[in-house]
């Protein structure tokens, strides 16, 4: 029924008032037509990426480590803290 309303030229908001929530309706239209609409952006690289493996290893080995202590450890390894 949603596709019929859409082919008749009704706006998404109007269709949503008649049938279902606007977001659910848009999701259904996108899935049915294989048009994903806006796609999720790729995750930006973090400045911690180069130290991620080390951080996970330390947390697995020493569960009681604080974030402050981990920060000091990676600074010792060359990580620069950026403050805004």
| 23-69 pLDDT per residue, tens | 777 777 776 655 445 556 667 778 788 888 889 999 999 988 898 99
pLDDT of residue 10: 73
User: In a 3-state reduction of DSSP, which class is residue 22?
Assistant: helix
pLDDT of residue 69: 92
Question: Do residues 32 and 24 touch, judged by C-beta distance below 8 A?
Answer: no
Distance CA 60, CA 44 (A): 25
User: In a 3-state reduction of DSSP, which class is residue 41?
Assistant: coil
pLDDT of residue 61: 92
pLDDT of residue 84: 59
pLDDT tops 80 at residue 15 = no
């Amino acid at each position: 029924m949603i596709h019929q309303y859409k082919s008749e030229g009704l706006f998404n908001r109007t269709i949503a008032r008649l049938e279902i929530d606007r977001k659910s309706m848009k999701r259904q239209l996108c899935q049915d037509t294989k048009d994903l609409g806006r796609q999720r952006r790729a995750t930006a690289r973090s400045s911690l990426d180069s130290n991620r493996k080390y951080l996970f290893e330390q947390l697995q080995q020493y569960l009681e480590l604080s974030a402050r202590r981990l920060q000091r450890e990676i600074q010792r390894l060359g990580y620069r803290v950026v403050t805004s």
